[in-house]
């Protein structure tokens, strides 16, 4: 085969692809009578594979396959099912007899029919019983948005530096896909630093809390003994050391002595605590030099001067003892601190109060208070009850901090740092199915977590946790009620910021730089307004629980004066966004939003191709294949192609290799030509009048954006609904959809249609779906 033949074939490959895609992509239907997997594999080996080898392998095999398509990679019917996207294209070509090419051996009519039926059956007829799978969602790391929201809800802090975390990688169009979210060391560093900063901001350790009225190292006390080690004091014989202090108001005060002993003889060090010369308590100090302990005592103080003394009561010295460590008992004072008054309500930040919902006191030891505090924090952070073992390990960190000389609050800070970098916090951990099982139903904590990250990009709130704890989350109508409640919560804006902005590609707005030389009316502020319009519009559909088809045809939108003026709409005043009727204007629905029109344009001109492609990809769920290499691009002016953009593109389309896909893309895109590259209305492109008429390959015609929207609603509604379901299911699950998910998609679509296509029905359908409710085992063939 000559090179030109090869090229031609490569290009021919795309012919008919799109038209058939449109015709077949809704064709995935679960059906009743099914060939079993075994018979399907057998038919593949006995009949299909030999035909493919005979008629296709000459070109489409091996590394140098034509059009980059090597069919011999697919060695089982199962592999073909998994590679459905590729085989949809193959089916299209074989069906219209575009393949094999004219100059190659042709299959007989029967052979062709067999191949068409077999491929169609294999990739489109999914048996929702035998092919049923829930799919496995890989351990998901919190992405930047989720991290920030979770910290907000867990701690009560808006931790802004998350925007400096490395960008989360995108898969399937979204940044919450478990498989793709990696954790490079630089991010771990940021997590560690973030944890330190967050606890430092959330917890008050000095000053603002209960005032410290006396804070002295052992060495700084006066009285008996001498300085020892780093800042401590040792009492080698009976005696006392202490310090004076004064308080301005009467009330309960708390004394904390950090001490230990060099133990010897039959009993531990006895420490006498004296307040104003009177012994108030005697402590047995069993701690050794390695790990001093904290002794606490509360007392009522009057305003004025006071003195605390710490006495060593049971000196012991026996130089004749057999073992050296039995010879000498001494007492070591590390630190003395007095705080109070304890009964005055302090102006502590909410973040602090929320964490320290209990305080150590006479009845509650430091350790027990720390345990209660950490149990609550860890259970919320891990989004399930923390285990005893986990809490014990956290208490080890508390102990370490106390031994280092930190106060109670600081010791909680350290344990919380650990919680905030634990994999149980940074990842959403779900248990895997038992060995041999294909899936397991998620428990209520896991469902609450999936639900809250889906709708809020954040952790569950107390109400969800309560239902999870009681096991009532899925009882009766609870899920539906919770969804209604959650969608009304301002936190549901996350669905706009994370889902809608990625689905509609609004995030790309930040990277766009329309040429101000060509569009002097455009500036960053206007760009922000455009994005805002679309966000508010989506949020309105969500909050008002409107039919999702309104996204395409709504006769209202949201704008402020600046944006309205850009659109040529009068009577909108001020900086505030307001709901504006579009009656009488050429605009309706998403497609006429400045944001979408700008995102799909080049910096200097509109791109009907990009607009058409955007519609196919994001509204109809049919991404066109990328262009084959070596296709000449549009020339802007002069040179070979002349006339308006439309004329240029029509010349371009005269090339049959291009026409296949472009007939559809261009027709869709041209309907929007009355909007320039920054979404302003226009009647002329330069000196050429705009012609916004388009005709699809199937003969359907429309002229202008309004007719396009009407066409999409009347002819493409099913496809649009299905596309939105697939996009949102992908987002909700955090994984790409597989062929077997078509069964779940069907059920969700049905549920939606039975509920007037209401937004909440979309959410409920997804939440109730099998892949959302279960965690599958990883498929063996992956």
Partner 1 sequence: MTKSTRISRRTVLRGLGTAVALPWLEASLPRVALGAAAAKSPVRMAFLCVPNGKHMPDWTPDSEGTDFELKPTLQPVAKFKSQMLQLTGLALDGGRAHGDGPGDHARSCASFLTGAHPKKTDGSDIHNGVSVDQVAAEKLGGLTRFPSLELGIERGAQSGNCDSGYSCAYSANVAWRTPTSPVAKEIDPAAVFDRLFGQGDAGEQGLAKAKRDRYRKSVLDFVLEDANQLQRRLGASDQRKLDEYLYAVRDIERRISGVDKLTGVERGINYARPAGVPKKFEDHTKLLFDLMTLAFQTDSTRVISFMYANEGSNRNYPEIKVDDGHHDLSHHGKNDEKQAKISQINHYHITLLAHLLERLAEIQEGDRSLLDNCMILYGSGLSDGDRHNHDDLPIAVFGQGGGALKTGRHLVYPKDTPLTNFYRTMLEIGGAGVETFSDSTGLLEDVLA
Nearer to partner 1, 273 or 599 (CB): 599
Which residues are CB-contacts of 334 (< 8 A; sequence separation ≥ 6)?
217, 218, 231, 232, 258, 259, 260, 292, 405
Is the Cβ of residue 344 or residue 635 nearer to partner 1 in the bound state? 635
Radius of gyration of the chain, Cα coordinates, nearest whole angstrom = 36
Q: How far is the CB of 742 from partner 1 (least distance, A)?
A: 18
Tracing tokens 């909410």 back to the chain, one arrives at: 350
3-state secondary structure of 139: coil
For residue 282, what are the β-bridge partners? Answer: 272
Of 1 and 480, nearer to partner 1 (C-beta) is 1
Question: What is the smallest separation between the CB atom of 176 and partner 1, expressed in angstroms?
Answer: 11
**Cα–Cα separations (whole angstroms), residue 107 to 102, 110, 114, 115, 117:** 11, 8, 10, 10, 14
Cis peptide upstream of residue 409 (ω within 30 degrees of 0): no
- Cα separation, 7 vs 656, whole angstroms: 13
State in angstroms the smallest separation of the CB of 27 from partner 1.
21
- CB of residue 175 to partner 1, shortest distance in Å: 8
Cβ distance to partner 1 smaller for residue 510 or 555: 510
What is the token pair recorded at 80?
A: 């073909």
Rounded to a whole number of angstroms, the minimum distance from the CB of residue 685 to partner 1 is 17
Of the pair 177, 672, the CB lying nearest partner 1 is at 177
- Beta-carbon contacts of residue 80 (< 8 Å; ≥ 6 apart): 44, 74, 87, 119, 122, 123
Distance, in Å, from the CA atom of 672 to the CA atom of 686, rounded to the nearest integer, reads 16
Closest to partner 1 by CB, 59 vs 243, is 59
Task: With beta carbons less than 8 A apart as the criterion, state whether 419 and 381 touch.
Answer: yes
Q: Which is nearer to partner 1, 501 or 742 (CB)?
A: 501
Q: Which of 296, 312, 310, 288 is nearest to 221 (CA)?
A: 310
Question: What count of other Cβ atoms lies within 10 Å of the Cβ of residue 22?
Answer: 18
- Which alpha helices (DSSP H) does 31-143 contain, by range? 37-43, 49-55, 77-82, 84-95, 109-124
CB of 764 to partner 1, least distance (A): 26
For partner 1, give the closer residue by CB, 79 or 188.
188
CA 63 and chain centroid, separation: 38
- What is the rounded distance in angstroms from the CA atom of residue 755 to the CA atom of residue 766? 14
DSSP state of 315: -
Q: Which two tokens stand for residue 256?
A: 């904390």
CB of 188 to partner 1, least distance (A): 3
- Of 205 and 484, which CB lies nearer to partner 1 in the complex structure? 205
Query: In the bound complex, what is the minimum distance in angstroms from residue 700's beta carbon to partner 1?
Result: 28
Q: How far is the CB of 304 from partner 1 (least distance, A)?
A: 36
Q: Coil, strand or helix: which one is 272? A: strand
Minimum distance from CB of 516 to partner 1 (Å)?
Answer: 8
- Least Cβ distance, residue 85 to partner 1 (angstroms): 8
Q: Which is nearer to partner 1, 418 or 659 (CB)?
A: 418
Q: Cβ of residue 507: shortest distance to partner 1, in angstroms?
A: 4
Nearest to 779 by CA among 434, 438, 429, 441: 438
Rounded distance, CA 726 to CA 737, Å?
Answer: 8
Sequence-separated (6 or more) residues with CB below 8 Å from residue 4: none
Residue among 24 and 138 whose Cβ is closer to partner 1: 138
Closer residue to partner 1 in complex, CB, 40/136: 136
């Amino acid at each position: 085969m000559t090179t030109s033949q090869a090229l031609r074939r490569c290009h021919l490959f795309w012919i008919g692809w799109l038209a058939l895609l449109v015709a077949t992509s809704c064709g995935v239907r679960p059906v009743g009578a099914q060939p079993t997997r075994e018979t399907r594999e057998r038919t593949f080996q006995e009949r299909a594979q030999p035909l493919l080898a005979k008629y296709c392998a000459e070109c489409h095999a091996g590394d140098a396959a034509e059009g980059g398509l090597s069919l011999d990679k697919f060695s089982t019917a199962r592999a073909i099912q998994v590679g459905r996207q590729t085989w949809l294209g193959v089916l299209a070509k074989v069906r219209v007899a575009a393949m094999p090419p004219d100059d190659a051996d042709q299959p007989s009519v029967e052979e062709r029919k067999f191949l068409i039926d077999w491929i169609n059956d294999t990739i489109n007829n999914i048996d929702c019983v035998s092919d049923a799978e829930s799919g496995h969602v890989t351990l998901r790391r919190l992405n930047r948005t989720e991290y920030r929201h979770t910290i907000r809800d867990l701690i009560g802090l808006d931790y802004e530096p998350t925007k400096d975390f490395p960008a989360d990688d995108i898969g399937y169009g979204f940044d919450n896909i478990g498989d793709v979210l990696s954790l490079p060391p630089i991010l771990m560093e940021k997590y560690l630093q973030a944890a330190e900063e967050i606890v430092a901001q959330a917890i008050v350790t000095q000053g603002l809390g209960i005032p410290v009225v006396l804070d002295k190292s052992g060495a700084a006390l006066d009285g008996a003994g001498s300085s020892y080690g780093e800042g401590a004091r040792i009492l080698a014989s009976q005696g006392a050391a202490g310090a004076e202090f004064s308080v301005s108001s009467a009330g309960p005060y708390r004394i904390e002595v950090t001490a230990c002993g060099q133990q010897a003889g039959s009993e531990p060090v006895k420490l006498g605590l004296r307040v104003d010369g009177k012994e108030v308590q005697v402590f047995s100090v069993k701690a050794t030099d390695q790990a001093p302990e904290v002794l606490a005592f509360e007392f009522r103080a009057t305003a004025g001067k006071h003195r605390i003394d710490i006495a060593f009561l049971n000196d012991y010295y026996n130089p004749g003892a057999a073992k050296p460590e039995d010879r000498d008992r001494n007492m070591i004072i590390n630190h003395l601190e007095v705080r109070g008054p304890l009964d005055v309500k302090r102006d502590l930040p909410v973040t602090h109060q929320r964490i320290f919902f209990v305080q150590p006191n006479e009845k509650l030891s430091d350790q027990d208070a720390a345990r209660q505090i950490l149990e609550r924090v860890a259970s919320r952070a891990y989004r399930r009850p923390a285990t005893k073992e986990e809490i014990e390990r956290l208490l080890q960190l508390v102990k370490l901090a106390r031994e280092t000389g930190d106060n109670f609050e600081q010791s909680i800070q350290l344990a919380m740092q650990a919680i905030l970098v634990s994999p149980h916090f940074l990842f959403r951990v779900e248990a895997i199915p038992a060995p041999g099982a294909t899936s397991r139903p998620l428990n209520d904590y896991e469902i609450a977590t999936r639900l809250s990250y889906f709708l809020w990009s954040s952790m569950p709130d107390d109400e969800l946790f309560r239902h999870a704890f009681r096991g009532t989350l899925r009882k009766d109508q609870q899920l539906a009620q919770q969804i209604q409640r959650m969608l009304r919560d301002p936190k549901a804006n996350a669905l706009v910021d994370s889902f809608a902005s990625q689905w509609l590609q609004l995030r790309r707005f930040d990277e766009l730089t329309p040429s101000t030389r060509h569009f002097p009316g455009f500036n960053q502020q206007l760009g922000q307004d455009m994005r805002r319009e679309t966000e508010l519009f989506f949020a309105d559909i969500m909050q008002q629980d409107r039919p999702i088809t309104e996204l395409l045809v709504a006769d209202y939108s949201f704008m402020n004066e600046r944006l309205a003026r850009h659109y040529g709409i009068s009577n909108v005043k001020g900086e505030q966004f307001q709901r504006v009727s579009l009656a009488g204007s050429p605009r309706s629905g998403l497609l006429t939003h400045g944001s979408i029109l700008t995102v799909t344009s080049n910096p200097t001109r509109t791109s009907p191709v990009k607009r058409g492609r955007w519609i196919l990809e994001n509204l109809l769920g049919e991404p066109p294949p990328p262009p084959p290499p070596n296709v000449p691009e549009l020339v802007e002016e002069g040179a070979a192609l002349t006339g308006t953009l439309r004329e240029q593109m029509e010349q371009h389309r005269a090339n049959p290799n291009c026409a296949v896909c472009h007939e559809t893309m261009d027709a869709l895109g041209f309907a929007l030509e009355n909007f320039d590259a920054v979404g302003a209305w226009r009647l002329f492109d330069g000196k050429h009048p705009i012609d916004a008429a388009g005709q699809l390959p199937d003969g359907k015609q429309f002229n202008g954006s309004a007719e396009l929207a009407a066409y999409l609603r009347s002819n493409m509604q099913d496809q649009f609904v299905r596309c939105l379901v697939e996009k949102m299911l992908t987002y909700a699950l955090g994984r790409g959809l597989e062929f077997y998910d078509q069964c779940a998609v069907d059920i969700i679509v049905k549920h939606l249609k039975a509920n007037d296509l209401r937004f909440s029905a979309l959410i409920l359908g997804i939440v109730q779906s099998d892949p959302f409710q279960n965690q599958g085992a990883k498929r063996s063939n992956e």
